[in-house]
Structure 1
């Protein structure tokens, strides 16, 4: 058995979770499953997005091996992935009591405290994690992002990354995290300069080259963007991300034929890559290729639904009021995240499906009918959206955004989803009463420069209780509003089950 599990571990390390799952399933499902078999099977399930199924095997591990701190750590980590912060913290505290004291466990505790709204305790847990592993770049990047969101202190967030670098942290992820922080703080030129220097010093790092190319493009340095993207192509000519970056640069240069060719080449290699489909559709629109109409069939693919009043509430208005209060208690941050699409607002940082609040639980139950209705309306087909349909689904991620006056979502898509969404809890009614579509969700406009320019093609007016569903590869953003109001939404991604 040991050799078989070693093979499964090697597959997991190589990112081949489905193959690992096939090996671990019979071993983990056996009545006398070993601790390691249960752990590796749970890891494989989580690698495939099947977190609820993974949880059952982690619970079996703590039941069968209650004195194992590792088993309690694994349970805490999975509970945290599911947004169940209080339970996650309890499991990690049990692991600590059994002798665990590693950086990974402190990182799980930090995320659990974020989910429960205990932000001081979360920051302390991040500090404890970095004391034990001061060069761990991913932890430093997480902590820096929280400091930025919570305090709006760019220098303090930057210092966390610098300390990690001085402790031997791997440079590329730290540099990428720095650049995201600078851009989030409105210092796009500083981010581009940092990544340009990084590309000079790390010319063999493809991902630094791609990030530097993108930052140069966003700073209108197109010659530099092309040079960096071509350098990445010389290193990894068949990497889907590189081909995607080349398509983006070609569109900015007014070469949509080349952009479409690069995107199509990427899709030959990675046919389910949502980012490549998004950029392929954009290039197809620019050249008049029928692929755009196939991928952006707004009438068939964008659905607008009014959420029914959940059981237990006398009206939808009463339900939305309770839902708004539950969500407001979670919007604890001063600034937007450094790695998301919103500007001038806040975003929750844990999976909302794990909340035990009655209104939030009721919301996710009420979603089932409109999601299934939308999937049924889509039907079957050979296009990249319909061919993935199985008739069933699971929610992959769920979060809330609260925009302040002047706030908006930059145009973006969701590369990890299949169907994406916007549900309106509170809307800026004064702004929406105008004729300029302020506060509306828009579709079809890419976020970066293109030649020719490609403006939005479709808008949907928000209203409380309204749910909008659309393909995850479809560009969407919001028209900014300036009235002294707030706009609060829940968003989630759906994938086929």
Structure 2
């Protein structure tokens, strides 16, 4: 192995580039340029030297095209490499990432699993496998391949950060902490990592340490909204400090106006400051929370038939699990994305959601949040099946723009004689010490009712006691 190849394998890309140029090794030079993200130079060189016989260069070209956002070209390059060598791990990894970028998570995951099996000691293969398991919502399974990536390259900060993210997502904050610290040690100037460490420390109740890390993150990354948002949540977890929390939210919104979390925490801060009129105007619940009764979608003639089909599909869904990790469901079951099924009831559900959201956005388009509503969207819908005593904890949907819920089966006890089983909007978690007189809005679920709302609005449900199940389908509409 030449000095250039050794430096490339060790991820010393600047050194690899210099050695390759000195030795006239255009192949390693191109690979190093891709890794250094010197895209124009890499593009010119790969165009000059790529040949049909070199699967490695085709894989590098696929990487380059993906970084450039040219997913179709990236897929073609990966396919070309695999046509010459079906076991080319780099090409499998690249095709997995391209397919995931195109929304084909299952096929991407199959490539990633094969690459990880072929190269158990290759960190990149294990990392992509873990990343796609997370995308497939198999969070617990994702941790092991990410640990293998870290074991293969313990000094590589991005693998540590990926593992820390997965552990935090699984609510294993104590395990995430040393991984965040190792990622920071590998890249001390990364302010975002400080903000992420701060969030884990806050979850562990170590608020003073969390505050120090969040402030360090703000100093290191003044244009990243995550550290000020993390600091805002830490400050709101204390009895005072709401004024500075509000300033942090405003800073985050100036950096990222589309941050659902920033909008949500701003509402919390206004409540905590006793500025209830301002909070009510900010949340705009009377206008933005819209209950409606959409028409029965084809091919169903009766709503009861549509609902029976939905219940049967939900009960048959293999992802239906009791209180899944990292969810807000208590005393109940929850599925993953129902819209992955190409069955009449779920195809009809998708059309129902998209039609209702289109009309909703048209009605509220003048609100600042919806002026940035994306032209192309994706929809994710999941069922929640609550048993007696079941409820949803306070939460928001930070990755979406519009969220909603459609009620499929509602126990008789969920009536207008009380709030058992109702949904409430506007009240944040007790962690933030919300005042009792802060503005809220409550709605009674009814079979066939759909409720649409902005994804940044805190909401929860009240428990109920009944022999019947409370079955609803929640959904998120996101850019994509």
TM-score (norm. length: structure 1): 0.67
Alignment of 1:93-132 (within 5 A): 105-107=110-112, 128=117, 131=120
Task: Assess if the C-alpha contact under 8 Å between 1:425 and 1:489 holds in 2.
Answer: yes
> Which of 379, 389, 405 is the aligned partner of 1:397?
379
> Which of 164, 171, 174 is the aligned partner of 1:175?
164
Deviation at 1:37, TM superposition (A): 9.9
Secondary structure at the residue paired with 2:120?
helix
Which residue is 1:466 aligned to? 449
Which residue is 1:316 aligned to? 303
Task: Assess if the C-alpha contact under 8 Å between 1:240 and 1:266 holds in 2.
Answer: yes
> Which of 272, 277, 289 is the aligned partner of 1:286?
272
- CA gap of 1:232–1:299, structure 2 versus 1, over 3 A, is same
Which residue is 1:3 aligned to? none
Deviation at 1:443, TM superposition (A): 1.2
Distance (whole Å) between structure 2 residues aligned to residue 395 and residue 216 of structure 1 = 34
Which residue is 1:384 aligned to? 368
Distance (whole Å) between structure 2 residues aligned to residue 58 and residue 75 of structure 1 = 8
Deviation at 1:224, TM superposition (A): 3.3
Which residue is 2:232 aligned to? 247
- CA gap of 1:246–1:359, structure 2 versus 1, over 3 A, is same
Alignment of 1:435-474 (within 5 A): 437-447=419-429, 449-453=431-435, 457-474=440-457
Deviation at 1:337, TM superposition (A): 4.4
Distance (whole Å) between structure 1 residues aligned to residue 365 and residue 101 of structure 2 = 32
> Which of 374, 379, 393 is the aligned partner of 1:410?
393
Deviation at 1:375, TM superposition (A): 1.8
Structure 2: tracts of 5 or more residues without a match: 1-29, 40-57
Which residue is 1:114 aligned to? none
Higher Rg: 2
**CA-to-partner distance for each residue in 1:190-216, whole Å, 9 max, x for gaps?**
x44445555665463645543443344
**CA-to-partner distance for each residue in 1:278-333, whole Å, 9 max, x for gaps?**
21222123221765333311121111111211222221010111122123222435
Which residue is 1:475 aligned to? 458
Distance (whole Å) between structure 1 residues aligned to residue 311 and residue 254 of structure 2 = 44
Distance (whole Å) between structure 2 residues aligned to residue 345 and residue 409 of structure 1 = 9
Which residue is 1:327 aligned to? 314
Deviation at 1:488, TM superposition (A): 3.2
Task: Assess if the C-alpha contact under 8 Å between 2:116 and 2:129 holds in 1.
Answer: no
Greater alpha carbon shift after TM alignment, 337-346 vs 273-282: 337-346
**CA-to-partner distance for each residue in 1:146-183, whole Å, 9 max, x for gaps?**
8988xxxx8x88766655543446223223323443x3
Which residue is 1:426 aligned to? 409
Which residue is 1:273 aligned to? 259
Distance (whole Å) between structure 2 residues aligned to residue 408 and residue 250 of structure 1 = 28
Aligned residues: 414
- CA gap of 1:58–1:422, structure 2 versus 1, over 3 A, is farther
Greater alpha carbon shift after TM alignment, 318-327 vs 129-138: 129-138
- CA gap of 1:41–1:315, structure 2 versus 1, over 3 A, is farther
1:227 aligns with 2:205: no
Task: Assess if the C-alpha contact under 8 Å between 1:343 and 1:409 holds in 2.
Answer: yes
Deviation at 1:258, TM superposition (A): 0.6
- CA gap of 1:131–1:456, structure 2 versus 1, over 3 A, is farther
Structure 1: tracts of 5 or more residues without a match: 1-5, 16-33, 47-53, 93-103, 111-124, 184-190
Task: Assess if the C-alpha contact under 8 Å between 2:59 and 2:77 holds in 1.
Answer: yes
Secondary structure at the residue paired with 1:449?
helix
Task: Assess if the C-alpha contact under 8 Å between 1:195 and 1:215 holds in 2.
Answer: yes
Task: Assess if the C-alpha contact under 8 Å between 1:255 and 1:451 holds in 2.
Answer: no
Deviation at 1:360, TM superposition (A): 0.8
Deviation at 1:10, TM superposition (A): 7.6
Which residue is 2:247 aligned to? 261
**CA RMSD, 1 decimal:** 4.5
1:299 aligns with 2:289: no
- CA gap of 1:321–1:74, structure 2 versus 1, over 3 A, is farther
Deviation at 1:420, TM superposition (A): 1.3
Task: Assess if the C-alpha contact under 8 Å between 1:12 and 1:44 holds in 2.
Answer: no
Task: Assess if the C-alpha contact under 8 Å between 2:78 and 2:92 holds in 1.
Answer: yes
Secondary structure at the residue paired with 1:356?
coil
Which residue is 2:22 aligned to? none
- CA gap of 1:140–1:446, structure 2 versus 1, over 3 A, is same
User: Which is bigger in relative contact order (C-alpha 8 A, separation at least 6)?
Assistant: 1
